[in-house]
Structure 1
Amino acid sequence: MVSKTLPNAAWMLVLTNTNDYVKGAIIVACVLRRLSTQYPLVVLCTSAVSEGAQELLSKAGCILKRIEPIHPPGKTTYFAERFVETWTKLAVWNQDEYERVVLLDADMLPLQNMDELMTVPLPDGDYVAASHACTCNPQKIKAYPADWIPSNCAYTSSSASKNDYFNSGLIVLTPSQGKFQDIVARLYGVPDLSIYPFPDQDFLNEIFAGRWVPLPYIYNSLKTLSYAHSGMWNLQDVKNIHYILTPKPWEVNVKQEQEADESDQRYYLQYQLWWDLYNDIGFDTDTVNKALYNDDR
């Protein structure tokens, strides 16, 4: 239930370059509006986001705000290219013109109104709220930590050894310039950032260890939960799908997906949901691609 006294709050999303994640951000913006959210979607953009991309985002109803990228000096080794710019997500803590922010990733798809997150009680400004990560590693990715196994997953057992670990795709937080400065100072003091296989996620779990409020999985429904924890997963309950890993929805040809191998077919329905909304909203793919890349891809 949304409080009658609405806080000065916003959904917030970070873009660090012009790529297909812009399409994801457009869908998030349009769907949030369709779901009658009472809060704006603020997109934090670095200078690497093109004018064409920004124009598309503005047309989708986003509030755009320019930020500087966060590139810590510590040694880095990433097993996925998409992790290179994830540190810039920390900039949401610096947006203290808002009392409450809900950070979203662009590879998400809201399915139901989630405005109640804006009034989720937090013990104090040093706490965040988030959903547990799934540490089952159902796709057997070799680069994942060795202890990411079902017996250590919070969704498998309430006593799992790693059940205090959250996914950073959706975080409810209280912005504070002081907190932001503390976070960045700590980040810049880490000489070898390779200790964080999942960069911002591991780091934030370290920062907020013992100081986070668990949210139900429905607010950050990792696409893999439908397979790894099928007994728990109920699409009718899900409020927000998170398309972790690859491929992302915009990379999937749903017309061919049913002919793909079994591992891809697991998530066909979730990809179809994204494309149904994308097509229903009326964005022409060729027009979007031309605006983003000035080409005919």
Structure 2
Amino acid sequence: MAPTKKPFWADQAFVTLATNDNYAKGAMVLGQSLRNHSTTRKLVALIGPHVAEDALHSVFDEVVMVDVMDSCDAANLALMKRPDLGVTITKLHCWTLLQYSKCVFMDADTLVLSNIDELFEREELSAAPDPGWPDCFNSGVFVFRPSKETHEELLKFCTEKGSFDGGDQGVLNSYFNTWATADISKHLPFIYNLSSIAIYSYLPAFKQYGHDAKVVHFLGKVKPWNYSYDAQRGEVKGHSASPDPCQMHPNYLLQWWQLYAASVLPLLQKAYGDGERHEDAREQPRFPPPPSLRLSSAERKQRWEAGQIDYLGDDSFTNIEQKLNSFLK
């Protein structure tokens, strides 16, 4: 007797966001990990206007370009030492996906370890506790229902009250402010959003429960794609900003790179060729921006002065710091 095929839910989707090409790599790894674990839901990627999208179509059912929004909250972002998080407000566009009845949002720096379609049995807003402040939920993984009204209310909330941390997590926790106390069924188990930060802050719990993890979240400034990978040796090579891969838990970091090398890298090479490689041929090629989106210095300056700043791309703190160091030398 043939095994029963799981039904495909065309009106439900996993959704992620990429505001630059590095996060697009992460999104492709996330999407491929969902497919490898036989999800029965559609995959949707929201992307900023400067993201090369050709390869994304190989993994996602739908690629939607959205405007990049920014909280412009330098003070609170400075408290977290993460000026790049302001554009995460763009995540609020996920409520505009009205063609879907229910969705699960997942940050592009997450990796799925097993099938998680059961998350669609939860209601809005279901999420796991944040390891830094457990009475807040972490907005890296959450269940929601697209709604024009909710989207408009969230934008109005941002305008009137802002975000207590300068990013989407502060906005969403303030808007869905009964999450901590109202309905325990909306508290996702931590295994659906296991952060590397929590692994080392409570190692005994990780040893006890870590084998049940379903989603790993690579929280922090340094991401998996900031490292490099020696495919011949099957080893992850350290990053200059964080030379010890163990800060990210080596097993999960290796799984990310193995999936990238086996499934995502061939798609990138097919879409963009090998012309934009790093000096080390064993490392990953960059997403080359489409020719129409390559900005001249004058155009970048004009965008900066107009407040159109690519915090996660060319205008990231890291790139600015490198430019200043070069100038000072």
| Paired residue secondary structure (1:205) | helix
1:174 to 145, 153, 158: 145
**Map of 1:69 onto structure 2:** 68
- Whichever residue aligns with residue 97 of structure 1, its letter is Q
**Map of 1:28 onto structure 2:** 30
* Alignment of structure 1 residues 16-165 onto 2, 5 Å: 16=19, 18-49=20-51, 53-71=52-70, 75-77=73-75, 78-79=77-78, 80-120=82-122, 122=123, 127-135=124-132, 162-165=133-136
* Counterparts of 2:129 and 2:223, CA distance in 1: 21
Residue 210 (structure 1) aligned with residue 207 (structure 2): no
**Map of 2:296 onto structure 1:** none
Cα RMSD after superposing both structures: 2.9
Contact 2:192 2:214 in 1 (8 A): yes
* Counterparts of 2:48 and 2:243, CA distance in 1: 38
Contact 2:34 2:112 in 1 (8 A): yes
Q: 1:202 to 1:57 in 2, by over 3 A?
A: same
Structure 1 segments of 4+ aligned residues over 4 angstroms from their partners: 3-7, 260-264
**Map of 2:294 onto structure 1:** none
Q: 1:75 to 1:237 in 2, by over 3 A?
A: closer
Contact 2:8 2:40 in 1 (8 A): no
**Map of 2:217 onto structure 1:** 242
* Counterparts of 1:9 and 1:198, CA distance in 2: 29
**Map of 1:10 onto structure 2:** 13
Contact 2:128 2:188 in 1 (8 A): yes
Q: CA deviation at 1:59?
A: 1.6
User: Over residues 209-262 of structure 1, what are the superposed CA-to-partner deviations in whole Å (9 max), with x where a residue is unaligned?
Assistant: 11461100111111112211222224421111000003211112354349x989
* Counterparts of 2:73 and 2:253, CA distance in 1: 36
Q: 1:181 to 1:61 in 2, by over 3 A?
A: closer
Contact 2:10 2:41 in 1 (8 A): no
Contact 2:29 2:264 in 1 (8 A): no
* Counterparts of 2:9 and 2:65, CA distance in 1: 26
- Whichever residue aligns with residue 192 of structure 2, its letter is Y
- Whichever residue aligns with residue 221 of structure 1, its letter is L
Aligned length: 254
Q: CA deviation at 1:4?
A: 7.1
**Map of 2:309 onto structure 1:** none
* Counterparts of 1:56 and 1:231, CA distance in 2: 40
* Counterparts of 1:64 and 1:170, CA distance in 2: 19
Q: CA deviation at 1:289?
A: 2.9
Greater relative contact order structure (CA < 8 Å, 6+ sep): 1
Q: CA deviation at 1:282?
A: 5.5
Unaligned runs of 5+ in 1: 136-161
- Whichever residue aligns with residue 288 of structure 2, its letter is L
Q: 1:75 to 1:169 in 2, by over 3 A?
A: closer
- Please identify the structure whose Cα radius of gyration is greater: 2
Calculate percent identity across the aligned residue pairs.
25
Q: 1:255 to 1:182 in 2, by over 3 A?
A: closer
User: Over residues 91-150 of structure 1, what are the superposed CA-to-partner deviations in whole Å (9 max), with x where a residue is unaligned?
Assistant: 111212211010110001101000001122x3xxxx400000011xxxxxxxxxxxxxxx
TM-score, normalisation: structure 2: 0.69
- Whichever residue aligns with residue 125 of structure 2, its letter is V
Contact 1:10 1:102 in 2 (8 A): yes
Q: 1:59 to 1:7 in 2, by over 3 A?
A: closer
* Counterparts of 1:22 and 1:221, CA distance in 2: 21
TM-score, normalisation: structure 1: 0.76
Contact 1:86 1:200 in 2 (8 A): yes
**Map of 1:154 onto structure 2:** none
Higher helix share: 2
Contact 1:252 1:271 in 2 (8 A): no
* Counterparts of 1:261 and 1:7, CA distance in 2: 41
Using the TM superposition, name which of 18-27 and 77-86 deviates more.
77-86
